[in-house]
Amino acid sequence: MTKRWTAYKMAIANIVNGNFTEDGFVQFGNLQVNRVRIMGTVVSKFIADDRKYGFFIVDDGTETIRVRSFEDNLKLIEKAKVGDIVDVIGRIRKYEDEIYVIPESVQIIKDPNWIILRKLELMKQKKEMPKAETTEGNVVGEEVIVEEVVEEEIVETKLPEGQTTLFESPRQKVIKLIKELDKGEGAEVSKIIEKMGDEKVVENVLTDLMNEGELFEPRPGKVKLLE
């Protein structure tokens, strides 16, 4: 069976400035990363006239990276337009001196608050991740994120009444609903959406949980947390 590597959420700067190994991995803290999940704004796009190749460039505020597609999966990048916020899952590749991403999925994000959510997730990840061995003043990977800029954005953001952080609320609510609705054979996704009242939020959170290996589908339309 082919191993499916975890798609780690990363700031783009951590990818393009990372140490790319000969076997196709980027060093990130103490991790060897092959698949990534990035979120940012499409700032440029190109599709060849013969439709055999295309790409768009994503900017997440830390750096930019090219998301490349070839004729077999060109449709993944076609729907994205310049100015769109995209959530991309894909594999890291390198050609000559450029590190880029081959996409497996591309999702258009309509709510800009998800950008803040992702930055908060990366900040939390950075605090929890053990650091790789480094020389003084040269921390590998996670130190590329500029915390000051993110903190200013968080201070200026008004949170809904009763919600303490943008990061915790959607995820915690969905997890709580899954536990409440799961009577042994999994929780119905339709009921989670009904109780949350926002299908897109539920889809995003469920996708995150599945990619992180915390959730699976015992059968279509039902999800179950791994214990």
Where in the chain is CATH 2.40.50.140?
7-109
3-7 contacts at long range (C-beta below 8 A, 24 or more positions apart): 5/33, 5/34, 5/35, 6/35, 6/211, 6/212, 6/213, 7/35, 7/36, 7/37, 7/89, 7/90, 7/104, 7/211
Model's pTM, two decimal places? 0.57
| Residue 40: pLDDT over 90 | yes
Question: What pLDDT band is residue 117 in, cutting at 50, 70 and 90?
Answer: confident
101 contacts 142 by C-beta, under 8 angstroms? no
33 contacts 165 by C-beta, under 8 angstroms? no
Question: What pLDDT band is residue 167 in, cutting at 50, 70 and 90?
Answer: very low
Does the domain made of 168-225 have the CATH classification 1.10.10.10? yes
Domain at 7-109, CATH class: mainly beta
How much is the average pLDDT of 160-187? 73
| Residue 158: pLDDT over 90 | no
How much is the average pLDDT of 148-175? 49
Where in the chain is CATH 1.10.10.10?
168-225
Q: Which two tokens stand for residue 161?
A: 């009444």
Mean pLDDT estimate for the chain? 78
SS3 track for 56-114: EEEECCCCEEEEEEEHHHCHHHHCCCCCCEEEEEEEEEEECCEEEEEEEEEEEECCCHH
| Residue 155: pLDDT over 90 | no
